[in-house]
Amino acid sequence: MSDCEFGYVQALARDYLCHVLQRPPPRPGPDRVSRLLRAVASAVQRDAERTLRPSLDDLDVASVEAARAVFQAVVRQEFADGVVNWGRLVTVFALQGILAKKLLRARVALDPDLDRDRDLDADTTEEIACFVAEFITSQAGGWIRQNGGWEHGFVQKFEPRPGWLAFLGAAGQVLLCALRQLP
């Protein structure tokens, strides 16, 4: 399977959700791309959650449909200029993590017996991974192929080296700006 195909991107999205929800990774275990994506997207997600806490607290994500609507509004705005780059793609995964955690908190509020840190059912996780993968493959699949794919382009861009953290900061700012624009 090409690393630009829907199934591959869906597996990355699923793996990142498992990471965010502190679940064991799906079989087989995470590969080099997944491990690197976890590290990079988690850093962006933590920064966004810290910086945007009041705005995120006001965000209503009580269903997968609500999560999808917020996701589509943010990514539509983030990619409105037609520019695709690895930093913006990382923010898509960070946004996925933020929305999954918001959805989990909303469900825990309705059913306190749920495990606060880990309990989004498999169907919900799959739906979220699916709409993330649909967006990435439809809007950025060609760009990903032209820029080395996940295995080469992404890994080369984000393997730890000097300047990596500065780029993460810039990627995080893109997500922060898009989230601040939400009504």
Look at 182 and 162; give whichever has higher pLDDT.
182
Which residues form the domain of 109? 6-180
Which of 139, 48, 32, 164 lies closest to 99, judged by CA?
A: 48
Establish if 1 belongs to a structural domain: no
pLDDT in tens, 39-90: 999 999 999 999 888 888 888 899 999 999 999 999 999 999 999 999 999 9
Establish if 117 belongs to a structural domain: yes
Establish if 57 belongs to a structural domain: yes
CA dist., res. 89 & res. 133, Å (int): 11
Establish if 63 belongs to a structural domain: yes
> Is 119 within 8 Å of 20 (Cβ atoms)?
no
Would you state the pLDDT for residue 117?
46
pTM, rounded to two decimals: 0.83
Residues 6+ apart with CB under 8 A from 165: none
Would you state the pLDDT for residue 15?
94
Establish if 53 belongs to a structural domain: yes
CA dist., res. 114 & res. 108, Å (int): 6
pLDDT in tens, 154-166: 999 888 765 555 5
Looking from the CA of 93 toward its CB, the CA atoms found within 13 Å total 29
Domain at 104, CATH number: 1.10.437.10
Q: Which two tokens stand for residue 172?
A: 């995080």
pLDDT > 90 in the chain, percent: 60
Establish if 104 belongs to a structural domain: yes
Establish if 33 belongs to a structural domain: yes
CA angle 145–18–103, rounded 5-degree value: 105
Number of domains in the chain: 1
Considering only 23-32, 86-95, 169-178, which range has the smallest mean pLDDT?
A: 169-178
Would you state the pLDDT for residue 49?
92
Establish if 46 belongs to a structural domain: yes
